[in-house]
Amino acid sequence: MAPSKNKGHALERVPSQYVEHNTVIVEAISLHGNSESSIGESQRTKQRAVILQALCQGELTSVAARERLGVLHPAGRVCELRRAGYKIEMIKRKTFDADGRPHYAGVYVLKSGAP
């Protein structure tokens, strides 16, 4: 598939990378063009796939994404997924981290997959 331009990034579908959950198959997205990031593109692609897999199972908090999934900047990965066409809603909710400290965290919910 030919890449499309979106806010300075080229979006490209990567058919060889899929996340599967029951009967739901979610295509992982590869974003090119951001050379300023401290993590590589392959790592961002993996993090987006992990987030999509978790969202297919239900809601995901930003704290859980950091602590359980190892995604250090979940808001960035969710933003990239939204640019790729995924409908992801975010609700602010008071949550507690592993040490019992309260935080207002984003709770992400997948409303629909990419077109």
Q: What tokens appear for 27 in the block?
A: 């295509």
CATH topology of domain 4-112: Arc Repressor Mutant, subunit A (1.10.10)
Please determine, for residue 35, whether its predicted confidence score (pLDDT) is greater than 60: no
Can you give the pTM of this predicted structure?
Answer: 0.63
Mean pLDDT of 45-59: 95
Q: pLDDT tens-digit profile of 59-113?
A: 999 989 999 999 999 999 999 999 999 999 999 998 787 899 998 888 999 998 7
Would you state the pLDDT for residue 96?
82
Identify whether the C-beta of residue 78 lies closer than 8 Å to the C-beta of residue 29.
no
Are 52 and 59 within 8 A, CB to CB?
A: no
pLDDT of residue 65: 95
How many residues does the structure list for the chain?
115
